[in-house]
Structure 1
Amino acid sequence: KAAYQRVRTPHLTKGSLYEKSGHLDHYRDAMYPSMDVDGIEYYVKPMNCPHHHKIYAARPKSYRDLPVRLSEYGTCYRYEKSGQLFGLMRVRSMQMNDAHIYCTKDQFKDEFLAVCKMYLYYFDIFGIDKYQLRLGLHDAEGLGKKYINEPELWQQTEAEVREALQEGNIDHVEISGEAAFYGPKIDVQVWSAIGKEFTLATNQVDFAIPKRFGLTFTDEGGREQTPLCIHRAPLSTHERFVGFLIEHFGGDFPLWLAPVQVAVLPVSDKVIDYARNVETTLKEAGIRVQLNGQPDKVGAKIRQAELQRINVMLIVGEKEAQDNRVALRRRFKGDLGTQLLDDVVTELKTEIETRRNTYRTN
């Protein structure tokens, strides 16, 4: 829908690429050590950005081609010290839903706001009600050290980001000294249902690196111009976001998000064939289902499904098998009676497709 081109980039790259991007100067401590391959330094990829810049530069661009939006669900590697590792929240190998948008100055505000609104759209889907957008600005004392030494560009770009947020009526706070080394950024802080704060998303403006890579486009007058670049990661790393969701929902995922959505629990081996038919029907409807065919009592099977936090249990006995029905049971709601299998499948599909955040007592 957002007109991104999906790309894939290498996991291992020459160090010269990261020298050009500035990552070796500003980010070396968070990178794995280099490896020597035929006398050339190679690094495992800490970021997708330089690779996407190379893709952009592979063909000449006109103003008619912009904006160019490149996205990658790719793996990055960062050397986190052992004391900093923390479950899914801080890992060394991570999957990033990452993208870079190359645009003209006239297109910048619309593109930047579209990314911010994409974040808000995702938060609505996942039921994230408490969040804050923080605009990270540079600190003049860090120019040439922590930040690229382009004071005028910093002032200009920060003003444009501020104007974009104001025009889009997006609430935010400003924090000095929290910019990326190449430009101002938006960090999105979210709070889980139990009140814990997470940095979940980022939206960064890059006014410097495109020039380093010689990225250009031809404007309407036939002159070469350097595009602005927006770095966008709406849901952090896959690992971190899953960790946040586990805490946010307390493991009680809404049906559409649950790893296993339905457990089929036959009362005895006499109805195992019907239970398998129920399982097949659910799978064909695109529902994630688990059949418990163990020779346990049905009460034990229900307890096991409850411990696994499976939202929906379909209990089948001889009477249900004769009438093509199931006994429906849901977490936090208990026994909901016997219903036609087709009706249950329709109801579950509707709940999944509409992404209803019904869980716990809702």
Structure 2
Amino acid sequence: YVKAVKLMNVAGAYWRGDERNKQLTRVYGIAFPKQKLLDEYLEWLKEARKRDHRLIGKQLEIFTFDDDVGAGLPLWLPNGAFMIEQIEALAKKTEEKAGYERVKTPHIAKDALYETSGHLKHYKNSMFPPMELEEGSTYYLKAMNCPHHHKIYLSKKRSYRELPIRMAEYGTCYRYEKSGELFGLMRVRSLQMNDAHIYCTEEQFKQEFQRVNEMYLQYFEVFDIDTYVMRFSTHDPDKLGDKYVNEPELWKKTEDMVRRALQESGIPYQEIPDEAAFYGPKIDVQIWSAIGREFTLATNQVDFSQPRSFNLKYVTADNNEATPICIHRAPLGTHERFIGFLIEHYAGNFPAWLAPQQVAVLPIKDSLINYAQKIGRYLNNLEIRTFVDERGEKVNKKIRDAEVQKVPYMLIIGEREEQNEAVALRKHGEGDLGTFNLQDFAGKLEDEAKLPID
């Protein structure tokens, strides 16, 4: 049956992982029933290495790490910071249209907050160690935003007329991932999360839940994500009171509500037992990059537990009190994981609106720098991100460097272009596109350069 075998790697390893034992040789290999399948896999592996977000992230100066800062704590360079700002701007405009309000919360809180939420009981091993302060209080770096948002909900009395309340924040969280599990931007200890919590009535739940899923689909279209599935994670009844909050009736009711909402939306999903959050069922959004690698992008969770733990209430139409349902949602996940995915998905060839630099103006000799600068000022005034390469290099070198930096458009400036107030246009990965009037080119690029939201 095995007809194609390939030796992949050789490494040293101590017997049973104990360095006091003899060192052995570990041989890694792979086998397929057909040579064609092996060839396809090796080609995929080659492409995956070319798209490695760690390599491209360094090449394009998007992010870096430093030992003095610490493992799993990325430093965003100017290009990466720009990408973050663009994604945030897209998310904020999308959420503003969908009725979200933005809040801000601190990076730390007292242990009492996480005792109430249940995170210290169920999640403590993933949190940074406590900080003991002189005043006798114990603080933790926040690993999640939801307890802080619940406190904002509690800041005043709520009425059914206010619901649903959609509370959004790009909050920074800290999670103590084990050092062996850290991997580039995909597994980090500091993460900026596109987070929101929706407080709604039971009657409003289905519509709110489906609207969140519709927002996912909107983002998939923007970022050219064609392959996805939603994993509906449910609880294990045998682990109630241990892994999951001990509310069997609420678990059944909430899971049935989520299941119906998914079925009515027509979105493909898989049901996965024993992978729910400790406070309720959740949807994990699985997406595939352009080369077929699977990523967990985002989550959509239903919480019936924390609203009760925090005693969240609203006044009903008949002047009684009721507890809202809370939906935790993060359609774009974290900046870290999402940008890591985008680097691989696009191989660094980002759409113009997301590219840190959209245009490189390349004069072929020094006497043309003034005209090149004039073009740069004109395009930058139109909010088209442009830089002028004034180095005394040959134009082929400038083109090659702009290609390596994956700048979407290059404008080659020679004497003829200066005389005609034109530009010779070159597109990354495609080559020369001909000569254009500057205004015509700018008009073409303006639509590509702006945020992709109506």
Q: Same fold (TM over 0.5)?
A: yes
Unaligned runs of 5+ in 2: 1-96
Cross-structure match for 2:449? 352
Say whether 1:54 aligns with 2:159: no
Partner Cα separation in structure 2 for residue 76 and residue 350 of structure 1: 35
CA contact (8 A) 2:313 2:323 kept: yes
From 219, 225, 228, give the equivalent of 1:122: 219
CA contact (8 A) 1:13 1:44 kept: yes
What one-letter code is carried by the residue in structure 2 that aligns with 1:178? E
From 113, 129, 132, give the equivalent of 2:210: 113
Which is worse superposed, 301-310 or 281-290?
Answer: 281-290
Which is worse superposed, 328-337 or 129-138?
Answer: 328-337
CA contact (8 A) 1:327 1:339 kept: yes
Cross-structure match for 2:125? 29
Cross-structure match for 1:10? 106
User: Helix, strand or coil for the counterpart of 1:264?
Assistant: strand
Partner Cα separation in structure 1 for residue 211 and residue 326 of structure 2: 14
| Correspondences of 1:230-309 after superposition (within 5 Å) | 230-309=327-406
CA contact (8 A) 1:97 1:238 kept: yes
Partner Cα separation in structure 1 for residue 121 and residue 404 of structure 2: 49
User: Helix, strand or coil for the counterpart of 2:280?
Assistant: coil
CA contact (8 A) 1:260 1:290 kept: yes
Partner Cα separation in structure 2 for residue 65 and residue 254 of structure 1: 39
User: Helix, strand or coil for the counterpart of 1:98?
Assistant: strand
What one-letter code is carried by the residue in structure 2 that aligns with 1:31? M
Partner Cα separation in structure 1 for residue 153 and residue 373 of structure 2: 51
What one-letter code is carried by the residue in structure 2 that aligns with 1:236? G
User: Helix, strand or coil for the counterpart of 1:75?
Assistant: strand
What one-letter code is carried by the residue in structure 1 that aligns with 2:115? E
Partner Cα separation in structure 1 for residue 382 and residue 182 of structure 2: 40
Deviation at 1:69, TM superposition (A): 0.5
Partner Cα separation in structure 1 for residue 225 and residue 110 of structure 2: 40
What one-letter code is carried by the residue in structure 1 that aligns with 2:419? Q
What one-letter code is carried by the residue in structure 2 that aligns with 1:14? K
Partner Cα separation in structure 2 for residue 353 and residue 44 of structure 1: 36
Say whether 1:67 aligns with 2:164: yes
Partner Cα separation in structure 2 for residue 286 and residue 280 of structure 1: 10
Partner Cα separation in structure 1 for residue 223 and residue 437 of structure 2: 30
Partner Cα separation in structure 2 for residue 162 and residue 320 of structure 1: 62
CA contact (8 A) 2:403 2:429 kept: no
Cross-structure match for 2:432? 335
CA contact (8 A) 1:136 1:178 kept: yes
Identical aligned pairs, as a percentage?
A: 59
Q: Deviations over 1:239-297 (max 9, x none)?
A: 10000000011112222222211111011111111111111111111112222110001
Q: Deviations over 1:147-187 (max 9, x none)?
A: 00000000000000111111222221101001100000000
| Correspondences of 1:154-233 after superposition (within 5 Å) | 154-233=251-330
CA contact (8 A) 1:14 1:42 kept: yes
What one-letter code is carried by the residue in structure 1 that aligns with 2:385? R
From 202, 219, 228, give the equivalent of 1:131: 228
Cross-structure match for 2:17? none
CA contact (8 A) 1:270 1:318 kept: no
CA contact (8 A) 2:283 2:301 kept: yes
Q: Deviations over 1:27-70 (max 9, x none)?
A: 00100000011211001111000000000010101100100010
Cα 1:3–1:265 change in 2 (3 A) is same
Which is worse superposed, 46-55 or 337-346?
Answer: 337-346
Cross-structure match for 1:97? 194
Unaligned runs of 5+ in 1: 357-362
What one-letter code is carried by the residue in structure 1 that aligns with 2:120? L
Partner Cα separation in structure 1 for residue 194 and residue 365 of structure 2: 45
Kindly report the root-mean-square deviation, in angstroms, between the aligned alpha carbons of the 2 structures. Answer: 1.2
Partner Cα separation in structure 2 for residue 306 and residue 85 of structure 1: 31
Cross-structure match for 1:360? none
Deviation at 1:355, TM superposition (A): 4.7
Q: Aligned residue pairs: how many?
A: 356
Cross-structure match for 1:325? 422
User: Helix, strand or coil for the counterpart of 1:347?
Assistant: helix
Deviation at 1:333, TM superposition (A): 2.0
Q: Deviations over 1:73-112 (max 9, x none)?
A: 1110110111111001111111001000000000000000
From 137, 141, 144, give the equivalent of 1:40: 137
